[in-house]
A and B are shown apart, each in its own frame.
Chain A
Amino acid sequence: MSSLPKRIIKETERLVSDPVPGITAVPSEENLRYFNVTIEGPDQSPYEGGIFKLELYLPDDYPMVAPKVRFLTKIYHPNIDKLGRICLDVLKNNWSPALQIRTILLSIQALLAAPNPNDPLANDVAEAWLQHETQAIETAREWTKKYAVLE
C-alpha cells in the first residue's frame, strides 16, 4: 500500500486529539483509510439516547472525492435506506476538498436532527414521515431503542 497522504494523517491526529462532541472516529488497524465511527443521536430527536455505528472509507482520490460513509446500525430515517446508505448533498455533488471527515460527520449528525422527507432515499419511510409524522417519529424512537441502545 502506498504511504498515507499527509492530509489523512493530520485529520486522523486531530480526530483523536480534539474529538467532536458526540462523535468518535477510530481508524482500523489493518487499513488506516477505514474508520469505525459512532454518532450519538442528537437531543430532542427521535434518535436521542441511541449510539449509531457507521463505517467510513477514504477512497484513493480523497480529498478530491468524498469519503464513503454508511450506517451499520439499523435506523428509521427518510434519507437513510435499508443498507445504511445516506442521501446527503455534501457526500455527492456538493463535496469539496475543503471539507473534512469531521465536517461530514457533523453534517450526518445534523441530518439525524432534521430529517428531510422531501428529498427521500427510503421512499416508504419518507411517505410515512409526510403522512403520519407523529407515528413515524414513534417508529424511529422504537427502532432507536431496539437497535441503537446498548443494554
Chain B
Amino acid sequence: MSDEEFEYTDDSDSLYSDSVDDDNFKIEDSLVKHDIVQYKQHTTREMMETLHKKCTKLSEVLGKPHDYVVTLLQSYKWNSEKLIEDYMDDPQDVELRLGLSTVKLNGEHHENTGLQTYTEEAPFSCFICCEDKLESYKLKCGHEFCLDCYRTYLNEKVKQANVIKCPSCDVALTPGDIDTISGTNGSSVLLENSIKEYVERHKTYKWCPSPDCNAIVEVLNSSDIAHLVDTNQIPIVICSNGHRFCFNCGFESHVPAPCNVTKQWINKCKDDSETVKWITTHTKTCPKCDTSIEKNGGCNHMTCRKCAYEFCWICLGTWDNHNNQYYQCNRYQYEQAEKNNKSAKDKKLQDEATKKSLQRYLHYYNLFNIHEISTKQDKSRCDVVENTVREVQEGVGISWIEAQFLVDSASTLLNARRVLKWSYAVAFYCDRGYSLDLFETVQAGLADAVEALSLLFEISDVEVIAKKKLNFLNASKLLEDRQRAMVLATEETINNGTLRL
C-alpha cells in the first residue's frame, strides 16, 4: 500500500482506540491488554509534515527562513533543544560551523548567484570534469561547478541524510539550491532520509518491522512500555498497514512469549555456537586437512574426501601402520589408558550432556521453524484470500458479506499460528514438571486446532468451500478458544516461576 492512500487526519482522530471495527484484531487485543499502550500511527508522509511543522515553528522562533531552518535542524540531527540552546548562545558560531554564514573567498565577497548560463563562444570550464559547459551553479562561497557534475554529486549525497556541502568548502546547500540543481525535488528526498534518522533517534517512534512497510508508530508515553515489559506483558501495536508488532522489541508480535524470552530465543537461534556444539559432538576432523567428517557407517578405514588422506577413525593415526598389525590401536595400552581413562570418561559425560541439551533445543527449534515457514504460507494465503472470496461469490452465487468468513478464518489462522510458534520458545525455557506437562497439553490442543483449520484451506473447489462454511466457522471458534487458553497457560507458567532464562 502506498502512503498516498492514507489521508492525514487530525491528531485526536488518529489516536488509536479500541473502536477498530475488525473482529480479528479483538481476540488478541484483549489478551495482550492492548488498551494499556497508547499510540499513534503515522505514515512517512505524515512524518514529513511533522518535520516541516517543526521547522516552521522554529523559523518563527529564530526569525529565519524555513529553508535555512531545515538545514540547521538536519545538521543538528533534529535535536531542536540543542540547536536553540547553541543558537541563543552564539548564532554566528553556529552559522559559521554549519557553513550557513556569508563567507569570503580570497578576500572577495560573493553572492549566491545560483544558476549561471554561458554561450558556446565563451563556455564555462568546470573544475571537476574539466569539460566546457554551458550551465553551472555558483554558491555564495564563489565556487562554481557545471550542472552535470553537481547533479551526480547530489545524487550520491542525498542518500546520506546529512547536510550537503559545497564540493570545495564547508558552505551548506539549502533545500532551494538542491532543488534547482537537481531539477526535481531532491531536497524532499534528503528530508525523507532525514525521517529515518529522526525516527531512529527518538525512542517514542518505531518503524514497522514488516518487510516493505514504511509505516511508523509513535507511543505517547514511553514509560508505559518499560512498565509493561517489566511485568511480562507485551506492548503490541498495529501499524497503519495493519501489521502487528511488539514496540519494545521492534519485532513481529511474539505473543505469548514475553520480551525477555523472545530476545533470548532469537539470540540462541542466531548463535552459531549451537551448530558448533553439534559439529564437536558428531564429527571428528581429518588429521591432515582439518575437514569435519561425520562417520555414518562403514569400517574404520577412512579416506578423507577432500585431501584423500587415509586414516583410522579410532586412533586418528595414518592407516599405513594398520596394514601389518591390524587394529593395533584397539589393543589396550594400559599405561596410557590409565592416564586417559579419567579425562575420557569426563569428556564422554560432557559429550552426552551436550548432545542431550542439543537434542532438546533442536526439538523446539524444529517446531518453531516449521510454523515459521507455515506462517509465511499463511501470509501469502491472506494476500490472495480476497480472490477466493470473489471466486466463491461468482461460483456459488452467495453475497460478499456471506463469503467474508474466509477472510476472518485466514486472519485467525495467521494469528493463532504465530501464537503457537512462539509458545515453543516459551516451552524451551520451561522447567520440566507438572506445569510444563500442562502447558504442553494446551499446546498440543492449539496445534491440533491450527492443523484442522489449515486443512480446510486446502480445499480448492468453491462449491465445497461454500458448503463447509459451518466447518470454517467452528474451526475458527475452536482455534480462538485454544489460542486464548494458550496465552493463559503461558501466563500461569510465568507466574509459577518455572521459566528459566
B168 touches A7 (CB 8 A): no
Cα distance A87–B131 when bound, in Å? 32
CB distance from B155 to the nearest CB of A (A): 9
Measured CA separation A97–B168 after assembly (Å) = 8
Q: How far is the CA of A96 from the CA of B127 in the complex (A)?
A: 12
Which of B130, B143, B149, B152 has the largest count of A CB atoms less than 10 A from its CB? B130
A residues 1-50 in Cβ contact with B at 8 Å: 5-7, 9-10
Q: How large is the interface on B (under 10, 10 to 19, 20 to 34, 35 or more residues)?
A: 10 to 19
A96-B167, A97-B149 in contact; A63/B131 too (CB < 8 A)? no
CB 8 Å contact bits of B123-156 with A (1 = contact, 0 = none): 0000111110000000000010100010011001
A130 to B152, alpha carbons, bound, how many Å? 42
Check B128–A97 contact: CB distance below 8 A: yes
Contact partners of B167 in chain A: CB under 8 A: 96-98
Check if A64 is an interface residue, CB within 8 A of chain B: yes
Q: Tell me if B127 and A10 are in contact (CB < 8 A).
A: no
When the two chains form their complex, are residues B153 and A7 in contact, meaning their CB atoms are under 8 A apart?
Answer: no
- Given A6-B131, A10-B130, the answer on whether A64 and B168 have CB atoms closer than 8 Å is no
Smallest CB–CB gap between A94 and chain B, Å? 10
Contact indicator A96/B168 (Cβ below 8 Å): yes
- Which A-chain residue is minimally distant from B131 (CB atoms)? A6
Q: Which of A52-103 contact B (CB under 8 A)?
A: 63-64, 96-98
In whole angstroms, how far apart are the Cα atoms of A75 and B480 in the complex? 70
Chain B residue with Cβ nearest A97: B128
The B contact surface, by secondary structure, is: loop
- B residues in contact with A10, CB < 8 Å: 130
A98/B130 in contact, CB under 8 A: no
Pairwise interchain contact B127-A98, C-beta atoms closer than 8 A: yes
Instruction: Specify which chain A residues have a CB less than 8 angstroms from the CB of B168 in the assembled complex.
Output: 96, 98
- How many residue pairs link A and B with beta carbons under 8 A? The number is 28
**Which chain B residues border A6 with CB–CB below 8 Å?**
129-131
- Expressed in whole angstroms, the Cα–Cα distance for A9 and B130 within the complex equals 9
Enumerate chain B residues within 8 angstroms of A9, measured Cβ to Cβ: 130
Provide the bound-state CA to CA distance between A7 and B153, in Å: 15
Contact A64 B130 (CB under 8 A): no
Contact B152 A7 (CB under 8 A): no
Report A-chain residues with C-beta under 8 Å of the C-beta of B153. 64, 97
Q: How many angstroms between the C-alpha atoms of A63 and B130 in the bound complex?
A: 11
- 1/0 per residue, CB under 8 A from A, across B149-169: the answer is 100110010000000000110
The digit string for B102-138, where 1 denotes a CB below 8 A from any CB of A, is 0000000000000000000000000111110000000
**Which residues on the B side are within 8 Å of A5 (C-beta)?**
129-130
Smallest CB separation, A102 vs chain B (Å): 13
A92 smallest CB distance to B (angstroms): 13
Tell me, in angstroms, the Cα distance from A97 to B152 when the chains sit together: 10
In Å, the complex CA distance between A7 and B129 comes to 5
CB–CB B152/A64 < 8 A: yes
Closest to A9 in B: B130
Q: Which residues of A contact B129 (CB under 8 A)?
A: 5-7, 63
A61 to chain B, nearest CB (A): 9
Smallest CB-CB separation from B162: which chain A residue? Answer: A93
Chain A contacts of B149 at CB under 8 A?
97
Contacting residues, chain B, for A96 (C-beta < 8 A): 167-168
Q: How long is the Cα–Cα vector from A6 to B130 in the complex, in angstroms?
A: 6
Contacts of B130 in A (CB 8 A): 5-7, 9-10
Closest partner residue, chain A, to B143 (CB atom) = A98
CB A151 to nearest CB in B, in angstroms, measures 41
Instruction: Give A6 to B149 CA distance when docked, in angstroms.
Output: 13
With A and B bound together, what is the CA distance between A10 and B167 in angstroms?
Answer: 19
Of B128, B143, B145, which is within 8 A of A7 by CB?
B128
Chain B 284-334 interface residues, beta-carbon cutoff 8 Å to A: none
In the complex, A125→B270 CA distance in Å? 34
Q: Are A98 and B128 CB-contacts (below 8 A) given A64-B153, A64-B156?
A: yes
Residues in B whose Cβ lies below 8 Å from that of A63 = 128-129
Q: Which residue of A lies closest to B153 (CB)?
A: A97
Instruction: Give bound CA distance, A103 to B129, whole Å.
Output: 16
- In the complex formed, the residue of B with least CB distance to A11 is B130
A64 to B487: give the CA distance in the assembly, Å.
57
Within 8 A of A (CB), among B162-188: 167-168
Cα distance A96–B156 in the bound complex, in angstroms = 11
Q: How far is the CA of A6 from the CA of B352 in the complex (A)?
A: 71
Residue pairs across A and B with Cβ atoms less than 8 A apart, 17 shown, are A5-B129, A6-B129, A6-B130, A6-B131, A7-B128, A7-B129, A9-B130, A64-B152, A64-B153, A64-B156, A96-B167, A96-B168, A97-B128, A97-B149, A98-B128, A98-B143, A98-B167
Q: A64-B156, A97-B149 are in contact. List 17 more A-B contacts (CB 8 A).
A: A5-B129, A6-B129, A6-B130, A7-B129, A7-B130, A7-B131, A10-B130, A63-B129, A64-B152, A64-B153, A96-B167, A97-B128, A97-B153, A98-B127, A98-B143, A98-B145, A98-B167
The 7 nearest A-B residue pairs measured at CB: A98-B167, A98-B168, A7-B130, A6-B130, A96-B167, A97-B128, A10-B130
What residues make up the interface of A, taking CB atoms closer than 8 Å to B?
Answer: 5-7, 9-10, 63-64, 96-98
B interface vs A, CB < 8 Å?
A: 127-131, 143, 145, 149, 152-153, 156, 167-168
